[in-house]
Amino acid sequence: MRVIDISMPIHEGMETYRNDPARRPRIAAVRRFPEGGVNESELSMNVHTGTHLDAPLHMVDGGEGIDAIDPARLVTRCRVVDLTGVRGPVRRRDLEPLDVAAGAFVLLKTANSFTDVDGDATVTLAADGAECLVERGVAGVGIDALGIERGQPGHETHRTLIGADVLVLEGLRLAHVPAGEYTLIALPLLLRGADGAPVRAVLVEDL
């Protein structure tokens, strides 16, 4: 088998949502050789920075935290779909021709995977695209954007997916991944009551 890392590296200069510097992680030395006898570092970061999983609490007041999500749902077969030709939000018309089965975890590979800039050209998932995937009965949606929607006052895309118990995985890196079927392993940190959590996401390709 082959394991393919689809996670964003965590570092202080990394890409963040809307290139907001306040969302960049801070990594500080706590102890260092030789004076401290060991090397230790401290990490401070937003739970929605880099590759991460949204919890219902992210969009629903009183919703469940990340620790309530069954980890078995994040070790699953998935399908990577190539949408690199789409400009603007991914819409129903872009998804309807795809062979997406009920229960699938779908990863949307877009032009985002080929840039380190999060800006106006970032490809997201439109509300009608989210409705299409819910109608197909998908179990989860992943995207190579740091936010699955942009500029929606009511966050319709998020609310449509989360309201249908569809998992939302954001911040993937898929430039090196061909479209096709894989096993996804994307386990979030077990942060009690948190509205999201960082994820080390990998695809396993059976040889």
Catalytic residues, by residue number, are 58
Using an 8 Å Cβ cutoff, are 201 and 186 in contact? yes
User: What gap in Å lies between CA 106 and CA 101, rounded to an integer?
Assistant: 9
User: What gap in Å lies between CA 22 and CA 177, rounded to an integer?
Assistant: 30
Residue 154 buriedness (CB in 10 A; 0-12 / 13-18 / 19+):
exposed
CB atoms < 10 A from the CB of 46, how many? 16
**120 Cβ contact list (under 8 Å, min separation 6):** none
User: What gap in Å lies between CA 125 and CA 162, rounded to an integer?
Assistant: 14
Per-residue buried b or exposed e for 121-146, using 16+ beta carbons within 10 Å of the residue's own CB: ebbbbbbbbbbbbbebebbbbbbbbb
